[in-house]
Structure 1
Amino acid sequence: MAAGSVLVLGSLVLHGRQSNTLLLDYELSADQSERFEALTRAFSEMARCGRIWNIPLEKREADWKRNAGASKLIERKQIHLATGNPPLVTTNMNFLKLPAGKETIYLTPDVILVTAGNAVAGFSYSDVEVTFRHTRFIEEEALPMDATVVDQTWRYVNRKGGPDRRFKNNRQLPMCLYGEIDLRSAGGLNERIQCSRVDVAEAFVSSIAAMSASMKG
C-alpha cells in the first residue's frame, strides 16, 4: 500500500505507511466457484454489448421542446468492461472491472471492491442493492448496432409531439429500449450503468442477486 493511502474493508480501516499490497488468496468451494463463474459469464456477455455507459447524474431540462421532448437531460460516459485487479491488491483471481467515473468497481468472489485513487472500499454483496429496469431513451449519438428501436421522435418537437416546423434540419431521432442497472449501498456506493441490450443487463443483475443470496444464507 502506498504511503498515506487508506484501505477500507467492511469496518476495517488501515492507513498504509509502507510500500506493500493487500494479498487475497482464494480457495473457493464448488458452490462459490459455480456462482462466480456464472457472474463472470453474465459480465462477459454484457461486455460484448454494442454500447455501455456510466450515468453520473440527471439534469432537469426546462426547455423540453428543444430537447426532443425530454424533461431531463442525462449525461453519459461510454465505458468498457474488462477483467483486472486493483493496483493495491494481489490475488490469484481475475476480478470483474467496471469503470464508474472517478471510481472503479471490482466484482470478486466474496465482496464488491470500489477504488478511488489510493483508497479501496469493500462491500458485501448482501449490502449492495442492485436493481434492473427497462428505459426508453432518445438516442442522439450513433445508434448501437444491437439497440432495439421502439419509436421515433424529433430533435425539436411541438406540444403535440410532432416536428416543430420553425427549426430547419429537424431530424428524427430513434427512441431505444435500453437496460439500466443501479448499484446502491448505505456505505456510499451509488452508480448507474446503461446497456444497449436489455436481456444481458437483466441477466447480469440476476447473477449478482444469486451472489447476494448466497451471502445471506
Structure 2
Amino acid sequence: MDNIFELELTNQRKVGWLALGFTLILTAVMVGGIAALLDYGATLTYAVLLSLGASFLYGFVWLMKIFAIEPSLITIATDCITVLNKTSGEENRLLFNKIASYQYSVYRGGKQLRLKLRDSTVVNLSDKSQRFATMVGEFETALALHQQPLTTSLLSSEKAGDDIMGIPSYAESPHTTIREKTFFEKRISTVLMAILSVVMVLLTCSVLLSSRPVKGSLFLAYSGYISYATTWWIARKQRWG
C-alpha cells in the first residue's frame, strides 16, 4: 500500500534568490539611511535602521511563504517516490533504481532530503515538520525492501568470488542506492566538536576572570556553539551506527 504525505516543501532555489535580492536592497537602504540620518544623531540612526531591518525581515518571511513554500503530495510506493506540486500540478516520479544516492540532513530545525539521480540530476526536498521526517523513514524502508533481492544476490556473488570475474561488487553496483553521510555523521564533526568545546571553555574562563562588560558577539558565539552541539548530538545514532 502506498504511503501519501501532505507537506509544505520549501523551494531552496527560490529562497536563495529572495535572500540575495533582499540582501542587496537592504544593504543599499542601510548605506543610504546612514548617510541621510547621521546628522540627526546616533540614537535616531540606530532606531531607524533597526526598524528597517525588522521590516525587511518580516517582508522576506512573508514573500517566502508566498513564493517559496509549495504545498505538495509525496507518495512512497514500492518502487518509486512521487512528488506532486499541488499548486502547479507538476508531478515528478523518481524510480528507486534511478536514484544513485541520497542524503538526509537536519540542521536548526530544517530537514532536507537530497536525491542524486544516475544522470547527475539532483532533487532537493525540504521541510521543517516532523511529518517530513516520517516520510523520509518510509522512503528508506521502501528503498531497503526494493533493494533487498539485489543486495542478497550481490553479496552472494561476492562470497563466491564472482567480482574477480568482472561482476561488480555490492558497493560498485550501478543498481544500488547509496546513503551519503552528512557532515555531522562523519568523525570530523566530533573532532571539530572537541575543538569548539575547548575554545568555549577558554572563552568562558576569560570572561569570568575579566572585568570588561560582556559583548553581544559573545552571545552569538554561544548561540552558534549550542546550535552545532545540538545538531551533532541528534546525529549520534547515524555516526555510531
What TM-score range do you get, normalising by the shorter chain?
Answer: 0.3 to 0.5
Greater helix proportion: 2
The structure with the largest alpha-carbon Rg is 2
TM-score by length of 2: 0.33
